[in-house]
């Protein structure tokens, strides 16, 4: 039975080692850590891939000859992420802030 370390298993599954490590920590993929490093059995990696196929995760729709991108829209006006949320809050607070007049400083010299 063939075994893989974290980087070999990640390459086998075509994903990043950090993501695979997270899957192993969360027990979403079978793995063992007999020492300081993760060890994966080839049969468990194959079972993980098979489960993805049978659940339909990240696989092309039936009837498609090739996988297409799910991004079909152009000129979409929305954006996501924490940075845009902060920007919205900042703009909202600016709109709700009380109006104040700026006071001009005297330009007199003494």
List per-residue pLDDT tens for the chain, 110 residues long: 899 999 999 999 999 999 999 999 999 999 999 999 999 999 999 999 988 887 766 555 544 444 444 555 455 455 555 556 666 677 777 777 777 766 666 666 66
**How many CA atoms lie less than 13 Å away from 106 in the CB half-sphere?**
3
Q: Say if 31 falls within a structural domain.
A: yes
Which residues partner with 40 through β-bridges? 4
Each residue of 10-45: b (16+ CB within 10 Å) or e? Answer: bebbeeebeebbebbeeeebebeeeeeebbbbeebb
Domain span at 47: 3-55
User: Which tokens go with 27?
Assistant: 């027990």
Q: Angle at the Cα of 10 (from 48 to 5), degrees rounded to 5?
A: 100
Q: Say if 99 falls within a structural domain.
A: no
Threshold 0.95, pTM exceeds: no
Per DSSP, which regions of the chain are E strands? 3-5, 39-41
Q: Say if 39 falls within a structural domain.
A: yes
The predicted structure's pLDDT at residue 102: 64
Q: Say if 40 falls within a structural domain.
A: yes
With H, G, I as helix, E, B as strand and everything else as coil, classify residue 42: helix
Q: Say if 28 falls within a structural domain.
A: yes
How many domains does the chain divide into? Answer: 1
The predicted structure's pLDDT at residue 64: 45
The predicted structure's pLDDT at residue 53: 82
Q: Say if 46 falls within a structural domain.
A: yes
The predicted structure's pLDDT at residue 42: 95
Q: Say if 48 falls within a structural domain.
A: yes
Q: Say if 81 falls within a structural domain.
A: no
The predicted structure's pLDDT at residue 2: 94
The predicted structure's pLDDT at residue 78: 52
The predicted structure's pLDDT at residue 99: 72
């Amino acid at each position: 039975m063939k075994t893989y370390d974290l980087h070999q298993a990640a390459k086998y599954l075509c994903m990043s080692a950090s993501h695979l490590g997270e899957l192993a920590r969360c027990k979403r993929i079978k793995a063992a850590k007999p020492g300081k490093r993760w060890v994966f059995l080839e049969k468990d990696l194959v079972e993980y891939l098979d489960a993805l196929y049978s659940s339909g995760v990240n696989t092309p729709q039936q009837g498609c000859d090739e996988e297409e991108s799910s991004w079909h829209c152009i000129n979409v006006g929305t954006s996501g992420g924490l940075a845009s949320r902060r920007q919205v809050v900042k703009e909202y607070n600016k709109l709700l802030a009380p109006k104040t007049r700026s006071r001009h400083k005297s330009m007199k010299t003494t």
